[in-house]
């Protein structure tokens, strides 16, 4: 994902965290094995960053995450989850079992980057900043999870629920959340989900910006601009469609947006065009508005085709072919949901604050849309230039995010003899 600027005014509307959640965290942070894990994490800053660099230097272009997945699998096994494996879609999955009666929590970071094959992924230091495409988004998340897992295992903390560590594929745009779609198709019993994506500790993404994308192709007879004049034109039909779409008014709340991002077509300036294609992107923070607005776009396209055909009234007509090329579901979970409250309480426990509640398009889109409690958080450290070749990361307080995800996972999954799981066990989905 690309991170929006942090808003400093996020806290004002949030209700206080429930006392039982704060008490659970209070007990967990005093539990001797947890104290040991937290200290171990604090001392692993350099080692962890070295691992982040190694992960970042294994290329992971969209749809070609295999090399990074294989490397990450080996590290997850080394950290103690010897049964970890790669699923049919390419996700790395390792389960740290609880005592057996608790919820199943998934903590994840994405393996893929936006960068194509052949991109130079060597990490280079300059003035305290480490430059490397993908080093923050999301090598930071992968290293954070790995370090949390390692110290969880070393400390011997026994959780009640299972904590499933996942490196996902297909998070970035064209991947269309294919890793998440497979994960939630194959595991109907997931009770909660946390994605670590990008850098910026204190951010909570609890709203999922959904998107639908389409490639719309107009086809017609085509012909000479002079001698065949009178035939309908694919480009003219397309132009009518773009004009109609351009006039649509989406709701501003929940934020819903659209754009015709690409146009292509025609063969020659002196030909009635026989083909034209547009690419359309529609986004919304509400699944209902997303679907509603897409219907309006479709209606505009069909009207445009009818208008063009009526203009010329010939036998040869313009036809349209609409192909959906992207489907990221939308939705949101309440700012008062237990998983959000637990995240806020955990920030407080490590001396950080909740800096923003946001809508974004991340791996959490899928579980949020399915009604599974899910949020996306970010790793600690400093970073910039996400999704660009100039992406950089500086390991400032880089272990804070590890302590955060460790404590939060323990609070949600519950610790044997210390605290009950904050996360509720759900009825498995159909
Ligand atoms: Zn990302």
Query: Ligand 1: distance of its center to the CA of 379 in Å?
Result: 11
Is 340:193 a contact under the CB 8 Å cutoff? no
Query: Ligand 1: distance of its center to the CA of 362 in Å?
Result: 7
Query: Ligand 1: distance of its center to the CA of 24 in Å?
Result: 30
Query: Ligand 1: distance of its center to the CA of 141 in Å?
Result: 9
Judge whether 87 lies within some domain: yes
User: Tokens in use for 324?
Assistant: 């959906």
- Residue-wise pLDDT tens digits, 264-287: 999 999 999 999 999 999 999 999
The band of 1, judged by pLDDT with boundaries at 50, 70 and 90, is low
Are both 244 and 294 inside the same structural domain?
Answer: yes
Query: Ligand 1: distance of its center to the CA of 134 in Å?
Result: 8
Query: Ligand 1: distance of its center to the CA of 386 in Å?
Result: 8
406 against 174, higher pLDDT: 406
Judge whether 4 lies within some domain: no
User: Tokens in use for 24?
Assistant: 């659970």
Are both 20 and 74 inside the same structural domain?
Answer: yes
Query: Ligand 1: distance of its center to the CA of 201 in Å?
Result: 14
CATH number at residue 139: 3.40.630.10
Task: Out of 290, 309, 328, pick the residue that ends a domain.
Answer: 328
Query: Ligand 1: distance of its center to the CA of 328 in Å?
Result: 15
| Alpha carbon distance 240, 99 (integer Å) | 62
Are both 168 and 317 inside the same structural domain?
Answer: no
The band of 96, judged by pLDDT with boundaries at 50, 70 and 90, is very high
Task: Say what the pLDDT of residue 266 is.
Answer: 95
Query: Ligand 1: distance of its center to the CA of 249 in Å?
Result: 30
Query: Ligand 1: distance of its center to the CA of 4 in Å?
Result: 12
Task: Say what the pLDDT of residue 10 is.
Answer: 46
Q: What percent of the chain has pLDDT over 70?
A: 97
Are both 199 and 87 inside the same structural domain?
Answer: yes
Query: Ligand 1: distance of its center to the CA of 404 in Å?
Result: 18
Query: Ligand 1: distance of its center to the CA of 340 in Å?
Result: 20
Task: Out of 303, 328, 353, pick the residue that ends a domain.
Answer: 328
Query: Ligand 1: distance of its center to the CA of 339 in Å?
Result: 21
Are both 306 and 346 inside the same structural domain?
Answer: no
Q: Does a cis peptide bond (omega within 30 degrees of 0) precede residue 205?
A: no
| Alpha carbon distance 330, 327 (integer Å) | 9
Query: Ligand 1: distance of its center to the CA of 213 in Å?
Result: 19
Residue 138 pLDDT > 60, yes or no?
Answer: yes
Are both 56 and 176 inside the same structural domain?
Answer: yes
- Among 428, 401, 426, smallest CA distance to 107 is for 401
Residue 28 pLDDT > 70, yes or no?
Answer: yes
Residue 117 pLDDT > 60, yes or no?
Answer: yes
- Residue-wise pLDDT tens digits, 141-162: 999 999 999 999 999 999 999 9
- Among 81, 84, 139, smallest CA distance to 111 is for 139
Residue 7 pLDDT > 80, yes or no?
Answer: no
Query: Ligand 1: distance of its center to the CA of 199 in Å?
Result: 9
Judge whether 42 lies within some domain: yes
Query: Ligand 1: distance of its center to the CA of 419 in Å?
Result: 32
Alpha helix ranges (H) inside 162-275: 178-186, 234-247
Task: Say what the pLDDT of residue 429 is.
Answer: 78
Residue 262 pLDDT > 60, yes or no?
Answer: yes
Residue 368 pLDDT > 80, yes or no?
Answer: yes
Q: What percent of the chain has pLDDT over 90?
A: 95
Residue 8 pLDDT > 60, yes or no?
Answer: no
Number of domains in the chain: 2
The band of 54, judged by pLDDT with boundaries at 50, 70 and 90, is very high
Query: Ligand 1: distance of its center to the CA of 267 in Å?
Result: 39
Query: Ligand 1: distance of its center to the CA of 110 in Å?
Result: 7
Classified as helix, coil or strand, 191 is coil
Residue 380 pLDDT > 80, yes or no?
Answer: yes
Query: Ligand 1: distance of its center to the CA of 283 in Å?
Result: 18
Query: Ligand 1: distance of its center to the CA of 272 in Å?
Result: 44
- Residue-wise pLDDT tens digits, 215-256: 999 999 999 999 999 999 999 999 999 999 999 999 999 999
CATH number at residue 218: 3.30.70.360
Residue 9 pLDDT > 90, yes or no?
Answer: no
Query: Ligand 1: distance of its center to the CA of 177 in Å?
Result: 11
Task: Out of 301, 328, 355, pick the residue that ends a domain.
Answer: 328
Judge whether 429 lies within some domain: no
Judge whether 420 lies within some domain: no
Are both 310 and 360 inside the same structural domain?
Answer: no
Are both 147 and 219 inside the same structural domain?
Answer: no
Query: Ligand 1: distance of its center to the CA of 180 in Å?
Result: 13
Average pLDDT score over the chain: 95
Are both 249 and 131 inside the same structural domain?
Answer: no
In the block, residue with structure tokens 């090598």: 139
Judge whether 15 lies within some domain: yes
Query: Ligand 1: distance of its center to the CA of 166 in Å?
Result: 14
Query: Ligand 1: distance of its center to the CA of 209 in Å?
Result: 14
Are both 226 and 137 inside the same structural domain?
Answer: no
Judge whether 1 lies within some domain: no
Burial degree of 277 (CB within 10 A; 0-12, 13-18, 19+): middle
Is 402:388 a contact under the CB 8 Å cutoff? no
Helix (H) or strand (E) holding 68, with range, is helix 66-78
Domain of residue 222: give its range. 210-328
Q: Please, which residues have CB within 8 angstroms of residue 290's CB and are 6 or more apart in sequence?
A: 210, 211, 212, 256, 282, 283, 284, 330
The band of 15, judged by pLDDT with boundaries at 50, 70 and 90, is confident
Query: Ligand 1: distance of its center to the CA of 127 in Å?
Result: 25
| Alpha carbon distance 266, 403 (integer Å) | 57
Query: Ligand 1: distance of its center to the CA of 68 in Å?
Result: 15
Residue 165 pLDDT > 90, yes or no?
Answer: yes
Judge whether 159 lies within some domain: yes
Are both 314 and 267 inside the same structural domain?
Answer: yes
* Dihedral angle sign, alpha carbons of residues 181, 405, 162, 333: negative
Query: Ligand 1: distance of its center to the CA of 368 in Å?
Result: 17
Task: Say what the pLDDT of residue 12 is.
Answer: 53
User: Tokens in use for 30?
Assistant: 């005093």
Are both 239 and 337 inside the same structural domain?
Answer: no
Q: Please, which residues have CB within 8 angstroms of residue 403's CB and are 6 or more apart in sequence?
A: 38, 41, 42, 350
């Amino acid at each position: 994902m690309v991170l929006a600027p942090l808003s400093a005014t996020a806290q004002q509307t949030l209700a206080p965290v429930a006392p039982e959640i704060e008490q659970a965290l209070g007990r967990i942070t005093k539990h001797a094995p947890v104290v040991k894990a937290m200290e171990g994490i604090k001392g692993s800053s350099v080692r962890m960053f070295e691992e982040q660099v190694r992960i970042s230097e294994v290329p992971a272009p969209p749809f070609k995450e295999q090399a990074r997945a294989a490397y990450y699998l080996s590290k997850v096994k080394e950290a103690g989850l010897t049964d970890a494996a790669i699923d049919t879609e390419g996700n790395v999955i390792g389960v740290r079992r609880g005592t057996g009666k608790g919820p199943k929590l998934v903590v994840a970071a994405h393996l893929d980057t936006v960068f194509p094959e052949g991109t130079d992924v060597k990490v280079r230091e300059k003035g305290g900043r480490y430059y490397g495409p993908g080093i923050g988004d999301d090598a930071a998340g992968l290293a954070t999870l790995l370090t949390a897992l390692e110290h969880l295992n070393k400390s011997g903390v026994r959780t009640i629920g299972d904590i499933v560590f996942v490196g996902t594929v297909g998070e970035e745009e064209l991947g269309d959340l294919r890793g998440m779609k497979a994960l939630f198709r194959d595991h109907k019993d997931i009770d909660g989900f946390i994605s670590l994506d990008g850098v910026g500790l204190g951010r909570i993404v609890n709203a999922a910006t959904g998107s639908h994308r389409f490639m719309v192709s107009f086809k017609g007879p085509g012909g000479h601009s002079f001698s065949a004049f009178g035939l309908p034109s694919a480009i003219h039909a397309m132009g009518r469609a773009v004009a109609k779409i351009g006039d649509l008014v989406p709701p501003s709340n929940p934020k819903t947006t659209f754009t015709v991002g690409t146009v292509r077509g025609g063969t020659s300036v002196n030909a009635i065009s026989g083909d034209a294609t547009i690419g359309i992107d529609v986004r919304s923070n509400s699944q209902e508005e997303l679907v509603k607005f897409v219907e309006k776009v479709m209606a505009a396209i069909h009207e445009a085709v009818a208008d063009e055909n009526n203009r010329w009234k010939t036998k040869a007509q313009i036809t349209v072919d609409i192909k959906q090329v992207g489907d990221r579901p939308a939705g949101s979970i309440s700012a008062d949901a237990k998983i959000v409250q637990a995240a806020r309480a955990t920030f407080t426990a490590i001396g950080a604050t909740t800096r923003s509640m946001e809508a974004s398009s991340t791996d959490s889109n899928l579980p949020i849309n399915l009604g599974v409690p899910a949020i996306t958080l970010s790793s600690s450290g400093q970073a910039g230039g996400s999704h660009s070749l100039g992406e950089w990361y500086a390991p400032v307080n880089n272990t804070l995010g590890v302590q955060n995800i460790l404590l939060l996972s323990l609070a949600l999954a519950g610790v044997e003899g210390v605290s009950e799981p904050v996360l509720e066990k759900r009825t498995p989905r159909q």
